[in-house]
Amino acid sequence: MMKPESRHFFSSPKGKTSFYRMLRNRFLTGLCIALSLLTLFPLISIVILVIRNGLPLISMNLFTQLSPAPGLEGGGFGNAIMGTLVMVCISLLLAVPLGILSAVYINEYAPVSPVSSAVRFVAKLLTGIPSIICGVFAFAAVVMTSQHFSAIAGGVALAILILPIILLTSEQALMGVSVSYREASYGVGATPFQTIWRIVLPDAMPAIMTGIMLAVSRAAGETAPVLFTALFSQNWITSVFEPTASLSVLIYNFASLPYAYHIKLAWSASLVLVTLVTLTNILAQMIFSPKQR
Amino acid sequence: MRTRIGGVPILNTGTLSPLTPEYRRNPDFFKGACQLACILTILLLAFIFGEILLKAWPAIHQFGFGFITGTQWSPNRGVFGVLPVLIGTVESSFLALLVALPLGLSIALFISEDFLPNSLRQFIRFVVELLAAIPSVVYGLWGVFVVIPLVQKYGTILSDHFGFLPLFAGPAYGNSLLTASLVLALMVLPTITAISRSSLVVVPYSLREGSYALGATRWETILGVILPTASPGIVASAILAFGRAMGETMAVAMLIGNSQRLSWSLLSPSNTLSALLANQFSEADGIQISALMYAAALLVALTLVVNIAGAMVLRQTQRATSVLR
């Protein structure tokens, strides 16, 4: 039996009026906007502080000189920039071949095989591992074996950090290559190697480069993996087998010093690091966007 | 012979078969190299876990389960217990999640529903992605000079008025659990926003249309239809963000105060597993290294469990929404 009076589907038995519902709608919209804007404040605060405190010291000296002794002023952090670049390069040398070759195998040679699903599983597991664990491993495997802190150890730690990024983005990149390209290549009698090397990889290259750039920006910004593997150094890097300075560890070390100039240096290093990381990020997306999608 | 190339089954030509004489004359060295890379990648994970467990073995052997329940950490006396640090890890991550979840969710709603023109939504998305790109140590530096003074100032007021609650018992320190959690919240926000957003945008448009057609307001639709449909994805985002928060190192190490004392107060210094590792590894030797490796193994176990749980929930979501379509 139907009830005599028609009642709105969404109105509750307590008799919420349409005025109440409108009010609630407005209120929740306002709340949502307010909470979203609230998160902009810390971000703006970080950007403004990094620029305001970091900019005054920016000059050529910053990039070419060593940092001053505690309590003194002048100088920069050229050695830390060098160290970061060297360690990022080492990590790329290790992780790029491993990542791309694995991606080629799991996407081109054997998309459905136990090895491929194991590699995918390992890559996803590695993305979830805290970055400091990469440092702990490099400490155990490299530092404890060779008996001293080195740029190599830092590079190994960073390589483990970026391997899953490179592997998974490369796999995505290879997936994006049209199947008809492969079929055409096989159709004219190419071997799998020729197809991959001449057709698939060149076509996927922009997207793979995006992954590598993202990996670079990630590796340059990370502190925990290099903190106790490369340690720190006050001098220029002369060999990859000795303790090496890096921008991120410099920020960490100098932030806790009681000297005003060193804290200013830490802010400047932050500005350089944030600029570097953001630029690589934006560059990475620009490489990818013009060609596909 | 049927094979798969690029994930799509295609009809293979005879020349590709490893059995043809032509192929045997030109074995595919490249395939061998790729196979080798795969095996190395798999071995790497085993090597990482094996190496950490191996180096932790002396401590595991010596302290056993007491390591987890012990409340003292004093390398000088050779006593190692990580209970306060474990509690600090879970507590700071949980607190961070508590702050970040409402904020992240409202941003996700804000940029997935049509509150704003598309260009503005893309801009907000870009800003949140920028948050993710800022290095951890820069958050730490910012926290030292902005959040610590703030927490010190308002923490004193809190402990003066609510000091009778164990959570706000004084004295209020700047380097405290609360400071670390607030900065952590900011750092996990992009994770929550990105995953929640992707589960919100896959809610079929027909569900919204159905709800609007029944006369529901925008928020009745969001709360009654969209959020419940996307809820597994939101839960997954929270779990994965929790995992990230537990593994975060540098900002926490700079802000949390590094104290291994058990305390209920949010305003007192605490410690997390990752911060403990960051602070002590470079100067450790002997059994302390082993104890730190043990702590590292615990951290790996914790984050793995959380991450796998998150990934499983996320996979369930994707399956559920694909049925809806």
Asked if residue B235 and residue B248 are part of one domain, the reply reads yes
pLDDT at B180: 95
> Which pairs from B144-151 meet CB under 8 Å and 24+ separation?
B144/A255, B144/B254, B144/B255, B145/A49, B146/A45, B146/A49, B147/B179, B147/B182, B147/B183, B147/B255, B148/B174, B148/B175, B148/B179, B148/B255, B149/B174, B151/B176, B151/B178, B151/B179, B151/B182, B151/B267
| A42/B41 Cβ within 8 A | no
Report the percentage of chain A scoring pLDDT > 90.
63
Single-letter residue type at A54:
G
The mean pLDDT value for A40-54 works out to 92
In chain B, residues with a C-beta closer than 8 Å to the C-beta of A183 are: 10
**How confident is the model over A201-211, as pLDDT tens digits?**
999 999 999 99
- Residue B35's domain comprises 18-63
Whether B38 sits inside 8 A of A217 (CB atoms) is no
For the domain that residue A115 is a member of, what is the CATH number? 1.10.3720.10
Residues B216 and B190 in one domain: yes
Assess if residue B167 is contained within a domain: yes
Contact B137, A248 (CB under 8 A): yes
> Considering the domain boundaries, does residue B13 fall inside one?
no
B70/A1 Cα distance (integer angstroms): 68
Cβ <8 Å between B6 and A125: no
pLDDT of residue A16: 60
Longest dimension (CA), chain A: 91
Looking at the fold, whether B154 and B178 belong to one and the same domain comes out as: yes
Q: Angle, to 10 degrees, between the axis of helix A114-128 and the axis of helix B29-63?
A: 50
Residue A46 has pLDDT above 90, yes or no: yes
Domain membership of residue A172 as a residue range: 79-288
- Neighbouring CB atoms inside 10 A of B49's CB total 18
- Claim to verify: residue B55 and residue B121 sit in the same structural domain: no
Query: Is pLDDT above 90 for A36?
Result: no
Is A19 a member of any domain? no
- Cβ contacts below 8 Å, chain A against chain B, sum to 276
In a domain, B105, yes or no: yes
Same domain, B257 and B181: yes
- Asked if pLDDT for residue A185 goes beyond 80, the answer is yes
Q: Is residue B121 part of a domain?
A: yes
CA-based nearest residue to B159, from B167, B168, B150: B168
| Residues in chain B with pLDDT values less than 50 | 1-2, 9-17, 19
Is there a single domain that holds both residue B49 and residue B75? Answer: no
Number of domain units in chain B: 2
Q: What is the pLDDT of residue B27?
A: 66
Residues B89 and B26 in one domain: no
* A38, part of any domain: no
Block residue for tokens 């590598």: A212
Same domain, B163 and B98: yes
Q: Which of chain A's residues have a Cβ under 8 Å away from the Cβ of B34?
A: 101-102, 104-105, 108-109
| 3 state SS of B92 | helix
Instruction: Give the tens place of pLDDT for each residue, A127-160.
Output: 999 999 999 999 999 999 998 899 999 999 999 9
Tokens read off for B148:
């610590």
Q: Which two tokens stand for residue A156?
A: 């190994």
Same domain, residue pair B31 and B140? no
Question: What confidence score (pLDDT) does residue A3 get?
Answer: 47
Give the model's pLDDT for residue A293.
41
d(CA A60, CA B280): 35
Residues B156 and B56 placed together within one structural domain of the fold: no
Q: Is residue B234 part of a domain?
A: yes
pLDDT of residue B236: 93
Q: What share of chain B is helix, strand, coil (3-state, %, to 5)?
A: 75, 5, 20
- CA dihedral defined by B223, B227, B231, B236, rounded to 10 degrees? -120
Q: With a threshold of 0.85, tell me whether the complex ipTM lies above it.
A: yes
| Contact criterion met (CB < 8 Å) for A130 and B137 | no
pLDDT at A61: 86
Q: How distant is the Cα of A137 from the closest Cα of chain B, in angstroms?
A: 6
In this structure, the answer to whether residues B201 and B82 fall within a common structural domain is: yes
Q: Would you state the structure tokens that stand for residue B124, as one six-digit string?
A: 């907000």
Shared-domain flag, residues B168 and B50: no
Work out how many domains chain A is built from and give that number.
1
